Chain A
Amino acid sequence: MIRSSKTWQAAAIAAAAGLVLSACGTTDTDGGGGGDASGEDCNFKIGAMGALSGANASIVIPSVDGAELALDQWDNDECDVTLERFDTEGDPAKATPVATQIAGDETFIGVIGGAFSGETRATKTIYQDGGVPMISQSATATDLTQDEPVEVFHRLVPYDDYQGAAIAKYLTDEAGAKKVFVVDNSEAYGEPLADRVEETLGDAMVQRDKTQVGQTDFAPTISKMESAEPDAIFYGGYIAEAAPLLKQIRDAGIDVPFVGGDGLYGADFGNAVGPAGEGAIVMCPCAPIEEDSTFAADFEDKFGNAPGAYAAEGFDAMNVFLAALDDGARTREEVLDFVNSYEGDGLSKQIAFDENGDVPKENVSYWAYKNTDGKLTPEVEVKPEG
Chain B
Amino acid sequence: MDFDALINGLDRHTLDGITRGSIYALVALGYTMVYGVMKLINFAHSEVFMVGTWTVLGVYTVLGAEAGAGLGMVIGATLLALIAAMLASAGTALAVERIAYRPLRKKGAPPLIFLITGIGCSIVLVETFGQVLSAFFGPPFGRVTVNVPSVLETKVVFTIPGLDLPVTNTRLLIIIGAIVMMVALDTFVNKSRLGRGVRAVAQDPDTASLMGVNQDRVIMLVFVLGGAMAGVAALLFTIQYDITKFDIGFIIGIKAFTAAVLGGIGNLRGALVGGLLLGVVEVYASQVWDSSWTDVTAFIVLVLVLMFRPTGLLGESLGKARA
Please state if A223 and B145 are interface contacts (CB–CB under 8 Å): no
Contact of B243 among A186, A227, A243, A251 (CB under 8 A): A243
Query: Which A residues, 196 to 222, have Cβ-Cβ distances below 8 Å to chain B?
Result: 209-212, 214-221
Please state if B145 and A268 are interface contacts (CB–CB under 8 Å): yes
Contacts of A209 in B (CB 8 A): 290-291
Please state if A268 and B144 are interface contacts (CB–CB under 8 Å): yes
The answer to whether the Cβ of B5 comes within 8 Å of any Cβ in the partner chain is yes
Closest approach, in angstroms, between the C-beta of B67 and any C-beta of chain A? 6
Query: Which B residues, 12 to 56, have Cβ-Cβ distances below 8 Å to chain A?
Result: 12-13, 16, 19-20
Query: Which A residues, 264 to 298, have Cβ-Cβ distances below 8 Å to chain B?
Result: 268, 271-276
Assembly CA distance A211 to B282 (angstroms): 12
The answer to whether the Cβ of A240 comes within 8 Å of any Cβ in the partner chain is yes
Please state if B144 and A247 are interface contacts (CB–CB under 8 Å): no
Contacts of B292 in A (CB 8 A): 186, 210-212
Please state if A275 and B291 are interface contacts (CB–CB under 8 Å): no
Assembly CA distance A224 to B287 (angstroms): 8
Query: Which B residues, 110 to 159, have Cβ-Cβ distances below 8 Å to chain A?
Result: 139-140, 143-147, 149-150, 154
Please state if A55 and B16 are interface contacts (CB–CB under 8 Å): no
Please state if B286 and A220 are interface contacts (CB–CB under 8 Å): yes
The answer to whether the Cβ of B76 comes within 8 Å of any Cβ in the partner chain is no
Assembly CA distance A219 to B241 (angstroms): 10
Assembly CA distance A243 to B245 (angstroms): 11
The answer to whether the Cβ of B307 comes within 8 Å of any Cβ in the partner chain is no
Contacts of A211 in B (CB 8 A): 290-292
Please, what's the 1-or-0 string for A98-116, where 1 marks a CB less than 8 Å from any CB in chain B? Answer: 0000000000000000000
The answer to whether the Cβ of A76 comes within 8 Å of any Cβ in the partner chain is no
Instruction: Look across to chain A and name the residue whose beta carbon is closest to the beta carbon of B251.
Output: A214
Known A-B contacts A212-B294, A223-B13; the reply to A247 vs B145 at CB < 8 A is no
Please state if A54 and B143 are interface contacts (CB–CB under 8 Å): yes
Please state if B5 and A227 are interface contacts (CB–CB under 8 Å): yes
Contacts of A215 in B (CB 8 A): 251, 291
Please state if A55 and B241 are interface contacts (CB–CB under 8 Å): no
The answer to whether the Cβ of B295 comes within 8 Å of any Cβ in the partner chain is yes
The answer to whether the Cβ of B301 comes within 8 Å of any Cβ in the partner chain is no
Contacts of A221 in B (CB 8 A): 286, 291
Closest approach, in angstroms, between the C-beta of B233 and any C-beta of chain A? 13
Please state if B147 and A220 are interface contacts (CB–CB under 8 Å): no
Contact of A223 among B9, B237, B243, B295 (CB under 8 A): B9
Please state if A272 and B139 are interface contacts (CB–CB under 8 Å): no
Query: Which B residues, 273 to 293, have Cβ-Cβ distances below 8 Å to chain A?
Result: 283, 286-287, 290-292
Assembly CA distance A55 to B130 (angstroms): 9
Assembly CA distance A223 to B144 (angstroms): 27
The answer to whether the Cβ of A244 comes within 8 Å of any Cβ in the partner chain is yes
Instruction: Look across to chain A and name the residue whose beta carbon is closest to the beta carbon of B283.
Output: A220
Known A-B contacts A211-B292, A212-B294, A244-B241; the reply to A272 vs B287 at CB < 8 A is no
The answer to whether the Cβ of B242 comes within 8 Å of any Cβ in the partner chain is yes
Instruction: Look across to chain B and name the residue whose beta carbon is closest to the beta carbon of A184.
Output: B292
The answer to whether the Cβ of A239 comes within 8 Å of any Cβ in the partner chain is yes
Please state if A223 and B147 are interface contacts (CB–CB under 8 Å): no
Query: Which B residues, 230 to 284, have Cβ-Cβ distances below 8 Å to chain A?
Result: 237, 240-243, 245, 248, 250-252, 283
Assembly CA distance A240 to B246 (angstroms): 11
Pair count A-B, CB < 8 A: 95
Contacts of B242 in A (CB 8 A): 244, 247, 274, 276
Contacts of B240 in A (CB 8 A): 217
Interface residues on A, range: 20 to 34
Closest approach, in angstroms, between the C-beta of B315 and any C-beta of chain A? 28
Please, what's the 1-or-0 string for A245-263, where 1 marks a CB less than 8 Å from any CB in chain B? Answer: 0011001000000000000
Closest approach, in angstroms, between the C-beta of B53 and any C-beta of chain A? 11
Assembly CA distance A221 to B242 (angstroms): 17
Please state if A55 and B144 are interface contacts (CB–CB under 8 Å): yes
Closest approach, in angstroms, between the C-beta of B146 and any C-beta of chain A? 7
Please, what's the 1-or-0 string for B286-322, where 1 marks a CB less than 8 Å from any CB in chain A? Answer: 1100111011000000000000000000000000000
Instruction: Look across to chain B and name the residue whose beta carbon is closest to the beta carbon of A208.
Output: B290
Please state if B140 and A271 are interface contacts (CB–CB under 8 Å): yes
Contact of A220 among B16, B67, B139 (CB under 8 A): B16
Please state if A216 and B251 are interface contacts (CB–CB under 8 Å): yes
Instruction: Look across to chain B and name the residue whose beta carbon is closest to the beta carbon of A251.
Output: B154
Known A-B contacts A211-B292, A251-B154, A272-B243; the reply to A219 vs B16 at CB < 8 A is yes
Instruction: Look across to chain A and name the residue whose beta carbon is closest to the beta carbon of B130.
Output: A55
Instruction: Look across to chain A and name the residue whose beta carbon is closest to the beta carbon of B287.
Output: A220
Please state if B291 and A220 are interface contacts (CB–CB under 8 Å): yes
Please state if A243 and B145 are interface contacts (CB–CB under 8 Å): yes
Contacts of A275 in B (CB 8 A): 67, 150
Assembly CA distance A301 to B13 (angstroms): 54
Assembly CA distance A214 to B146 (angstroms): 14
Contact of B16 among A223, A239, A247 (CB under 8 A): A223
Instruction: Look across to chain A and name the residue whose beta carbon is closest to the beta carbon of B143.
Output: A55
Closest approach, in angstroms, between the C-beta of A188 and any C-beta of chain B? 13
Contact of B147 among A210, A248, A272 (CB under 8 A): A272
Query: Which B residues, 195 to 245, have Cβ-Cβ distances below 8 Å to chain A?
Result: 237, 240-243, 245
Known A-B contacts A214-B251, A220-B291, A272-B243; the reply to A227 vs B9 at CB < 8 A is yes
Please state if B241 and A216 are interface contacts (CB–CB under 8 Å): yes
Known A-B contacts A209-B290, A223-B13; the reply to A244 vs B5 at CB < 8 A is no
Contacts of A271 in B (CB 8 A): 139-140, 144, 146-147
Contacts of A243 in B (CB 8 A): 145, 147, 243
Please state if A244 and B294 are interface contacts (CB–CB under 8 Å): no
Instruction: Look across to chain A and name the residue whose beta carbon is closest to the beta carbon of B243.
Output: A244
Known A-B contacts A212-B292, A212-B295, A240-B245; the reply to A220 vs B144 at CB < 8 A is no
Beyond known contacts A214-B251, A240-B145: 8 more, CB 8 A cutoff: A209-B291, A215-B291, A219-B19, A220-B290, A223-B16, A243-B145, A244-B145, A244-B241
Q: What are 10 A-B residue pairs whose CB atoms fall within 8 Å in the complex?
A: A209-B290, A217-B19, A217-B241, A219-B19, A220-B283, A223-B9, A227-B5, A244-B241, A247-B241, A274-B147
Q: Which 7 A-B pairs have the closest CB atoms?
A: A220-B286, A274-B147, A219-B16, A55-B143, A272-B145, A210-B290, A186-B292
